[in-house]
Each structure stands twice: as structure tokens, then as C-alpha cells.
Amino acid sequence: MNSVRTLFFIFVFAAIGHSAQAQQKDEVTPSGSYQFNLDKVVSIYPNPAIDLLTVKFESPIAKRTKITVHNVIGNLVEVETEAVDEFEIRLKVKDLPVGYYILALRDEQSNGRSTIKFVKR
């Protein structure tokens, strides 16, 4: 179990490092499927968050995007979400302990994925 957490931790922080690079591109996966990078079409605010975290999309994909929140060691954290409209989702982070978290986004239709680090204050 510890090796799974370690691998997840490495993967998440590698993904964060990748998303921080200036040259972000869409990729074809080894299986040949097309993977769309959501980093270009999503923003979050406020960061650091106190009560609510807003995820804003440039295109109307909010209702088909799956969002999970993980703590820095990779454990899934339950957070209440609300789809405001096709462009915006709000997450209730008020009850989370203070710290760093990873927001994992996945668009099921386009297979788009993204991870974004945020701080709960």
C-alpha cells in the first residue's frame, strides 16, 4: 500500500511540474488515444481558499468533468461540489484542514486531464 501511495505522490508532483512548464501540448498516449490537456482551459480562484474554491472553464465542460481532491500524500479527500453552470464548479473546502491539496480534473468525453495545486487557509 505504501508503494502505491509513493507512486501516486510521484505521479502527482510530476504532473504538477509538467503543468508548470511553458510548453504545454496535447499528447497522443502510448495506446494511440488522444489526450487533451485541460491546463489551457481551466482556472481556479481564490488560491489560497478559505471557504469555497471556484473552478472556471473557458468552454462549457463543467457538468461532464469529474473532480477529485487529494491531500499531498495522495489520499482522496471528500469535498462537496456544486455545478453552478456549464462553465463553473464550486467546491466547499471550509471543513478541510489547513494545507496543500491537489485538484484532479478529468473530462470523460475528450479524455482531458489536469492537476492543479491549491492551498486551503
- Structural domain boundaries of the chain? 2-120
CA-nearest of 36, 40, 38 to 22 is 40
The CA R_g of the chain, rounded to the nearest whole Å, is 14
Local confidence pLDDT in tens for the 121 residues of the chain: 555 554 455 555 555 444 433 333 444 444 444 445 676 789 999 999 999 999 999 989 999 999 999 999 999 999 999 999 999 999 999 999 999 999 999 988 888 899 999 999 9
Pairing of strands 34-35, 27-28: antiparallel
CB within 8 Å of 41: residues ≥ 6 apart: 57, 58, 59, 61
pTM of the entire structure?
0.70
Reported as half-sphere exposure (CB side, CA atoms, 13 A), residue 51 has a value of 0
Which CATH number among 3.40.50.720, 2.60.40.10, 2.40.50.220, 3.30.70.1140 corresponds to the domain 2-120?
A: 2.60.40.10
